[in-house]
Amino acid sequence: MTKFPVSSYTAPSDLLSGRVILITGAGSGIGKAVAIAIARYGATVVLTGRNINSLENTYDKIVHQSSPEAVICPLDLELATDADYLELKNRIAIQFGALDGLVNNAAILGDRTPLNQYKSELWEKVLRTNVTAQFQLTRSLMPLLEQSSHGGSVIFTTSGAGHSSLVFWGAYAVSKCAVEGLMRGWAAEQENLGKLRINAINPGATRTAMRSKAYPAENPTDLKTANQIIWAYLFLLGNDSLGVNGKTIYAQ
């Protein structure tokens, strides 16, 4: 597992110029912060998420900073089908021809409760959103990522809840274990086939709505903000990470 200290990487201002990057969960939290930041570094961002109003807010902030105009593609990972992912792929192919980056950021928490009290319906919802949908989306977009002239980059989002098998984290912890395995398996299959790389980021304790829900008694001002971990996403999406594959970066 690879660690990159925050002080070790400074991105050039044109790092992502001319690149097209899709982010799930771009309407809030880390996804929103990453979308705004990578647009500032020159990327055209494809914004996906369930809430159109939230996506429009992210879009407006990108426009306000005079970055390349983003594209809004509403997508509900819990309900999306293979046909929906194919439609998204075709839209990107027609509009851009290729995709340079995919940030699998969206996830849901579910309940923090003992496994023997976990509801089957919620279990299926969390695993579908956090794992199955990410597999389906990534698989659908892989042909476009392989066509990237910059060397495509796929980022999955993992969590300490999965690494440490934290008690009472239920389906969420299991989903993050699965995402880590999915990333490593896919990266191994991709090794030596080209410039496309597949990695993961563990954001750590970050000031988000999901964190607040998980730890309601915690003082959010004690946590780092989403903007303080942007460096990890910039590193993995830019050319400085060419050759980095199958790694997890701890953005702490």
* pLDDT tens by residue, 171-180: 999 999 999 9
Pick the residue with more confidence: 248 or 166? 248
**Alpha helix (H) residue ranges in 28-132:** 29-40, 52-64, 82-96, 120-127
The confidence score (pLDDT) of residue 193 equals: 86
Please state the domain extents for the chain: 6-250
The two three-digit tokens of residue 131, written as one number: 């794992």
Pick the closest to residue 57 from 30, 36, 78 (CA basis): 36
Query: What is the pLDDT confidence band of residue 229, given thresholds at 50, 70 and 90?
Result: confident
Using one digit for the tens of pLDDT, what is the confidence trace for 54-65? 999 999 999 999
Using one digit for the tens of pLDDT, what is the confidence trace for 69-107? 999 999 999 999 999 999 999 999 999 999 999 999 999
Question: The tokens 């001319």 sit on which residue?
Answer: 18
Is the pLDDT score of 20 beyond 80? yes
The 10 Å Cβ neighbour count of residue 214 is 16
**DSSP strand pairing (101-104 vs 71-72):** unpaired
Query: What is the pLDDT confidence band of residue 228, given thresholds at 50, 70 and 90?
Result: confident
- Is 112 exposed, middle or buried, given 0-12, 13-18 or 19+ CB atoms closer than 10 A? middle
Question: How large is the average pLDDT for residues 33-54?
Answer: 97
- Cβ atoms 171, 213 nearer than 8 A: no
- Is 92 exposed, middle or buried, given 0-12, 13-18 or 19+ CB atoms closer than 10 A? buried
The confidence score (pLDDT) of residue 116 equals: 93
The 10 Å Cβ neighbour count of residue 75 is 24
Using one digit for the tens of pLDDT, what is the confidence trace for 186-217? 999 999 888 999 999 998 655 555 555 555 55
Active-site residues, by number, are 172
Question: How large is the average pLDDT for residues 209-229?
Answer: 61
* pTM assigned to the model: 0.91
**Rounded Cα gap, residues 121 and 129, in angstroms:** 12
**What CATH number should be reported for the domain whose range is 6-250?**
3.40.50.720
The 10 Å Cβ neighbour count of residue 53 is 7
Backbone angles phi, psi at 104, to 5 degrees: -80, 90
Question: The tokens 């990695």 sit on which residue?
Answer: 199
The confidence score (pLDDT) of residue 110 equals: 85
Percentage of the chain modeled with pLDDT above 90: 73
- Cβ atoms 229, 204 nearer than 8 A: yes
Most distant CA atoms of the chain, gap in Å: 51
The confidence score (pLDDT) of residue 150 equals: 93
State the first-to-last Cα distance of the chain, in angstroms, to the nearest integer: 14
The two three-digit tokens of residue 241, written as one number: 């990470």
Is the pLDDT score of 149 beyond 50? yes
The DSSP element (H or E) to which 249 belongs, if any, is strand 248-250
Question: How large is the average pLDDT for residues 30-56?
Answer: 97
Percentage of the chain modeled with pLDDT above 70: 86
The confidence score (pLDDT) of residue 5 equals: 47
User: Which residues, 6 or more positions from 117, have their beta carbon under 8 angstroms from its beta carbon?
Assistant: none
Pick the residue with more confidence: 162 or 241? 241
The 10 Å Cβ neighbour count of residue 187 is 20
The confidence score (pLDDT) of residue 196 equals: 96
Q: Mean pLDDT over all residues of the chain?
A: 89
The two three-digit tokens of residue 233, written as one number: 């996403």
**Rounded Cα gap, residues 9 and 216, in angstroms:** 33
The confidence score (pLDDT) of residue 1 equals: 44
